[in-house]
Structure 1
């Protein structure tokens, strides 16, 4: 995944697997506030679904019992973020399937948050 210019690593989590396979992870990058509109309009259709709106509390995490607020996802009351998934036929709030990828965009007051999420295998 290419992280757009102007975005910097902010925080990340890895959830190791208990047996053979690849770990799940979620990484947050922070960038300029004006990049939210640019990124949500980006054509990612060759890899991911179109971005869909979703309340912050409904955004799936790569690991059961965890959520992206632990990585700093901040939404105003009633606010939401945008999600794009590698499996476009699924509802945006459903749990991630094995080996599924997702990108979450969130417009924080002073910056844009970009989350890269992978469910592991």
Structure 2
């Protein structure tokens, strides 16, 4: 069994994101490309976005801190701390409306 403090990880990633020219930072906390399941902490500073991209499989996000906007075409969803968002199967992007952290869970398609 492993134990990890997501709060501590978020604090560290926020420092890295603030210092990065991209305004973001991420760390895979479980799984990876060799696994079906991958969980990644993504931290974005205010105004920073993950550009439009494909969904590699089933994906969900839990907003751990801040406020984000998930956009797919003409549709958008706003998430705040504690919210659970299901990523659309369509191309989508993610924007931080304030300094934010999300736990992205992806189950790859075979």
Higher strand share: 2
| TM > 0.5 fold call | no
Using the size of structure 1 for normalisation, the TM-score is: 0.32
